[in-house]
Amino acid sequence: MTGAVPGGAPMKIVHVITDLNQGGAQAMLEKLVLAGKRMNPEIEQTVINLGRPGVVGSRLASAGIAVESLEMALSIQSIARIITLARRLRSGPVTPVIQTWLWHADLIAGLCAHAAGNRKVVWNLRNSMPSHPATKRASRAVARLCARLSRRVPAVIICNSRAALRAHVAIGYCAEKCIVIPNGFDVRTFVNSSGSRSEVRARWGAAPGEALVGMVARIDPLKDHATFIRAAASVAVRLPRTRFVLVGEGVTHNAAIRALLAETNLAGRFILEERSDAVQKIMSALDVSCLASRSEGFPNVVGEGMASATPTVATDVGDVRSILGDDRLVAAADDPESLASCIEYVLGLGDEERRALGLKQRREIEVRFDIEQIWNRYLELYSSV
């Protein structure tokens, strides 16, 4: 598929996102833009960040992607920045497709594009709990406002999961404009590496024959680190040659985690590490990748574990059950014993069976969620818009 608009001119895509800190939407934006740059270099892609520069923005800029951070806030200066944004989205010789990410960007950039005369607006929905009390009140209000505008502002609404689609239609989003395009993963980057496994396990001080069960997730109530720790407490009693790993922003200095590790007498069995850009290496070091979330749409970390051929288990949230495709690997949310059973099932497999499970999961990613396939689906949609 070529990246041209009718008339033969190269397509232009402007991505607008609320912030470029590490997160699921930011990770998907990064993968999509880089896949597009590799596969269709003739397409001009730029990224406008409503917030301050973040780690994902730095990586995109290093890869040669034009990134602009508006550093908007609730101040009089934001009015000028909104005018700047509207000018960036204005129709020109080639009207750009405006791909927005996250509710605040959907709202602000969608309205700015309309004010500038550009109707090629595509929203991107990634949260499966837009009305849940655990979602910030301001975010719930923005989501409800977007629901009212969804029949007029976006041309199309992309949902990253069926769960996200159902949840947003339930609060009033226009169902006729919603389509599902799942997250994608770069199977060239996420591979199981024996070298990475040895390197990371040596850094962690893991002994030969010890099984490592880990969760990669930032501190957030919805990620439910407590359920993972309590599941680990059950596994640790029954499988004493198992250690546990938490990697993510905030885990090394979170008081609740420290208190729970002390309560369960597991401090000596846990490895804590801050956010890492080398998730592929982390996955290679683990024997089981785990996600204990209370809510997700399509969790990136599940796909990253599967793409790395690391046996992956997760709670039954969002589209996890259909992604994993094996009920023995899916636990009830907020249920430590259910999660412990999934972990123990994988650790109870022989070495060859566990390796075969990891390879089977990787094949699922290759067949259903390769980022190049997902980019082509986005590109087809942009062309139709």
The β-bridge relationship of strands 44-49 and 12-17 is parallel
Q: How confident is the model at residue 3 (pLDDT cuts 50, 70, 90)?
A: low
The verdict on residue 6 lying in a domain is: no
Tens of pLDDT along 204-240? 999 999 999 999 999 998 899 999 999 999 999 999 9
Tens of pLDDT along 305-322? 999 999 999 999 999 999
The residue among 374 and 86 whose pLDDT is bigger is 374
**Residue 211 has what pLDDT?**
97
Beta bridge partners of 125: 159
Tens of pLDDT along 137-147? 888 899 999 99
The verdict on residue 261 lying in a domain is: yes
Number of domains in the chain: 2
**Residue 80 has what pLDDT?**
58
Q: How confident is the model at residue 2 (pLDDT cuts 50, 70, 90)?
A: low
What is the pLDDT of the chain when averaged over all its residues?
91
Q: Say whether both 166 and 217 belong to one domain.
A: no
Q: Say whether both 338 and 374 belong to one domain.
A: no
Range of the domain at 37: 12-184+370-384
The verdict on residue 7 lying in a domain is: no
The residue among 57 and 128 whose pLDDT is bigger is 57
Judge whether residue 84 has pLDDT over 80: no
Range among 71-75, 77-81, 136-140, 238-242 with highest mean pLDDT value: 238-242
Q: Say whether both 51 and 131 belong to one domain.
A: yes
Question: Average pLDDT for residues 260-274, to the nearest whole number?
Answer: 95
Percent of the chain with pLDDT strictly greater than 90 = 78
The verdict on residue 285 lying in a domain is: yes
Q: Say whether both 134 and 220 belong to one domain.
A: no
Q: Note the helical H segments in the chain.
A: 24-39, 55-62, 77-88, 103-115, 137-149, 162-170, 194-204, 225-238, 255-263, 279-285, 300-307, 320-324, 336-347, 351-368, 371-384
**Residue 121 has what pLDDT?**
96
The verdict on residue 5 lying in a domain is: no
Judge whether residue 87 has pLDDT over 80: no
Structure tokens at 98: 């405006």
Q: What is the CATH number of the domain that holds 84?
A: 3.40.50.2000
Q: Say whether both 223 and 340 belong to one domain.
A: yes
The verdict on residue 3 lying in a domain is: no
**Residue 115 has what pLDDT?**
84
Q: Say whether both 143 and 17 belong to one domain.
A: yes
Q: Say whether both 167 and 273 belong to one domain.
A: no
Q: Say whether both 347 and 296 belong to one domain.
A: yes
